Amino acid sequence: MLTIWGRLSSINVQKVVWAAGEAGQAFERIDVGGPFGGLDTPEFLAMNPNRQIPVLRDGTLVLWESNSIVRYLVARHASGELWEEDPARRVLADRWMDWTNTSLQPALARLLWGVVRKLPGFTDPNVIAESLAQGEALMEILAAQLDDSPYLAGERFGMADIAVGCGAHRWLHMPIERIERPAVRRWYEAIHARPAARAALPLPVA
- Judge if the upstream peptide bond of residue 49 is cis by omega within 30 degrees of 0: no
Show the DSSP H helices in 4-79 as ranges: 11-22, 42-47, 66-77
Return the number of other C-beta atoms located less than 10 Å from residue 19's C-beta. 28
Whether the CB-CB separation of 202 and 28 falls below 8 Å is answered with: no
The pLDDT tens digits of the residues spanning 46-97 come to 999 999 999 999 999 999 999 999 999 999 999 989 999 999 999 999 999 9
Whether the CB-CB separation of 55 and 63 falls below 8 Å is answered with: yes
Written out in words, the top-level CATH class of the domain with range 87-198 is mainly alpha
Q: What pLDDT is attached to residue 108?
A: 96
Helix or strand holding residue 2 (H, E)? strand 2-5
- Report the length, in residues, of the chain: 206
Q: How far apart are CA 143 and CA 124, in angstroms?
A: 28
Q: Are 2-77 and 87-198 equal in CATH topology?
A: no
pTM of the model: 0.96
Q: What pLDDT is attached to residue 203?
A: 95
- Domain ranges, ordered by start, for the chain: 2-77, 87-198
**Local structure of 154: helix, strand or coil:** strand
Q: What pLDDT is attached to residue 14?
A: 98
Q: In the chain, which residues have pLDDT < 70? A: none
Which CATH number is associated with domain 2-77?
A: 3.40.30.10
Q: How far apart are CA 162 and CA 160, in angstroms?
A: 5
